Each structure stands twice: as C-alpha cells, then as structure tokens.
Amino acid sequence: MIQIIPAIDIIEGRCVRLSQGDYSRSRCYDAQPLDMALRYEETGIRRLHLVDLDGAKAGGPQNLKVLEQIASRTSLEVELGGGIKSTDALRAVFEYGATYAICGSVAVKQPELFNEWLMAFGPEKIILGADLRNGRVSVNGWLEDVDMTIDDLIGLFPSVSQIICTDISKDGMLRGPAFDLYTDLQGRWPAIDFTVSGGISSMSDIERLDDAGLRRVIVGKAIYENRITLKQLREWLQNA
C-alpha cells in the first residue's frame, strides 16, 4: 500500500503553503510545525516531509531548530529539503535529526558532489529532489529552470534509489497530481522508489495512485484545507 507522507513547509518557523512554487503566493497557517508533527504522529504517520523554504531561497538551511524540535520530540522519520548545497550543510541536517536529506539543486549544478554524497552517506539516506516545470528541471527553490529533463537527471546517478518528483504546475493547486507522469516514471525505473508530490486534493487521488502501483505520496495543502482529514489518514493507515 502506498505510504502517505504529510508535508510541512516552513518560512520563518511557521507553516505555509505556496501555489506553484511562487513565494509571493504563500499562505500562512496558524498551526506550529511541532504541533502538526505531533498530530501526524498520533494519527499513525511514520514519515514527515519537511521543507525549509527559507533555506531553499538562501542557499543554506535556515530552520534547523524546527527540525531539531520535531526530531527530538517525535519518533517520526523526517526527510528535509531546502538549501542543502554543501557537505557541511548536509552534515548539519543529519546532526539536527533528519533521517533523510533531499537534494535537488546541487544534483543539477554539481552532479559529481551529489554522487560523492550518495557514496559517503548511502542512497538509503540521500533523496534526489526532481522538481519539474513544463517537463524541465527547476532548481534554487523553483526560481530557475534548466535545460534538463528528469530522465537526463536520473541518468547521472546510477546508485540513486529514492526520488521525490514534484510537478510544480500542480503543487498547491488541489487539482490532482500528474498521474500519467508518475505511472510512466515508476514503470520505466522500477528499481527507484518515486514519491509523488504536487496536486493531491483528496483521498481518491491517493487511492488512484495506490491502484497504479506508486509507492509514496506527499500530501500538504489538502490537509491544511481539510480536503483530507486526520481521521481519514488514520482510517487509511489502520487498513494498511
């Protein structure tokens, strides 16, 4: 059964959601990141997707204290992305409690370094973040598009085993994910665990992805907007 991974996106220590990766179209929510993480843990969630949006913009992690709070006060496995562009930053993310590190921009800009990280830390801990806009890879907090497809990117890293693929056009829009994209990717790269990211609007979206054989899915705005309730998540996990 597909694994549901709730998302917490952070700007200045607060929960926010963007629309299509646009920082000017952000919405701040009252819930604090730790409070949300505790609710997810109580529901039965085991893995949390944490995005340091300040870090993505600044080029280095900016919300490590939030990561430390969640890692120290819950049993959740935390995958963190946003601004991990140096080995020191990567080490800091793990030292502050992340189980997994999500790296996107550095993989595009410095593929040799990313391959070194895969070897040094292990592909079980390093996740390739592949963010797509109109079929092309986007980096630096979705502020820069590059002339590279996801297949070009995957081909650079023979040992990569986990990829979070975000369709930016769908992200935060609550209109459903790019089903064909993810089904195609998982079918052509069966050894890689792809995580669906962007556009989830209801439990029916998740059920459809599950039926298609996808393995992981990130859910963010749909929870904050009450399109998917914690009760529904709990029932899904109990039936897993």
Whether 193 is a known active-site residue: answer no
37: helix, coil or strand? helix
Pairwise CA distance, residues 208 & 118, whole Å: 32
Per DSSP, the residues of 123-146 read TTTEEEEEEEETTEEEETTTTEE-
Whether 9 is a known active-site residue: answer yes
54, 131, 167, 171: which is the annotated catalytic residue? Answer: 131
Task: Quote the domain boundaries for residue 40.
Answer: 3-238
User: pLDDT per residue over 52-104, tens digit each?
Assistant: 989 988 889 999 999 999 999 999 999 999 999 999 999 999 999 999 999 99
9, 52, 54, 205: which is the annotated catalytic residue? Answer: 9
Q: Tally the domains of the chain.
A: 1
User: pLDDT per residue over 10-54, tens digit each?
Assistant: 988 887 765 555 545 445 555 789 999 999 999 999 999 999 989
The CATH number of whichever domain residue 21 belongs to comes to 3.20.20.70
Q: Which of the residue ranges 13-22, 109-118, 140-149, 163-172 would you say has the lowest mean pLDDT?
A: 13-22
Per-residue pLDDT, 174: 73
- Whether this prediction's pTM lies above 0.85 is answered by yes
Which runs of consecutive H residues, i.e. helices, occur in 13-122? Answer: 33-43, 53-58, 64-73, 87-95, 105-109, 111-121
